[in-house]
Amino acid sequence: MRRFLALALLVLLMGHAPIQESLPVRYYDIWMCGKTTGPPPTPGDLRRSADLVIHVRIDAQSAFVDEQFVTTYRSPHFDTPDEELERTVYTTHEATVLALVKAHPNAVVEGASERFIQRGGPMLHTEQKLIERVNGFDVLPVGSEWVLFLSWNPHLGVFSLYNQEHALPVRNGKVATEGYGWHTEFHGLPAEEFMEALRR
């Protein structure tokens, strides 16, 4: 019930406070790090762990806020449970599947439009447009092409892009990772060759 009321209030506020392109922009970066016990994962490792691997072109996108009540435990002994409303910004992408590397029962076929989400995106905050990013990774721009290693999100019922290392940019038919920070050894390789190697 509380989640329903919170969502209803959010929709009401969004209806009266549309995001305007003329507002000043500020980036809000969320830095997330995990435990590293070895070398960075290779594309082969990412393929094995991903639920869906596709080459896509981003056609459209929109941002939304997911709200959940989560249980936390207070100090001094962390034995007093309390509920807090947790808000997470996501961007929903609509993308044309140009090639399919690893299929999933919930995914579409080549040539169709696949929907997936990415953590981060724009939202209205007081008198400015606040853009949330994870680890400095921008939202994938409309018109760009990517090879994506996606995971199924059972909570939201959609595929999800985890972070930058799960997305390889493609430009003019070739992997374009120069200066990208991840998988730079594949820069300049034709995308078809890269994906064929992933299928083996």
Confidence at residue 124, expressed as pLDDT on a 0 to 100 scale:
64
Residue 47 CB partners (closer than 8 Å, separation 6+): 53, 101, 102, 149, 198
CA–CA separation, 12 and 10 (whole Å): 5
With CA atoms as reference, report the closest residue to 140 among 156, 172, 163, 159.
163
DSSP per-residue letters across 59-82 = EEEEEEEEEEEEEEEETTTT-EEE
CA–CA separation, 73 and 69 (whole Å): 13
Print pLDDT tens along the chain (200 aa): 444 334 343 333 343 344 445 777 777 778 776 544 567 788 999 999 999 999 999 999 999 888 777 676 666 666 667 777 777 889 999 999 999 999 999 999 999 999 999 999 887 666 677 788 888 889 999 999 999 999 999 988 999 998 888 999 999 999 999 888 788 999 999 999 999 999 88
Strand spans (E) along the chain: 25-30, 52-74, 80-102, 113-119, 121-125, 128-134, 145-153, 158-161, 167-171, 174-175
Residue 37 is encoded by which pair of tokens?
A: 């016990």
pTM (global) more than 0.85: no
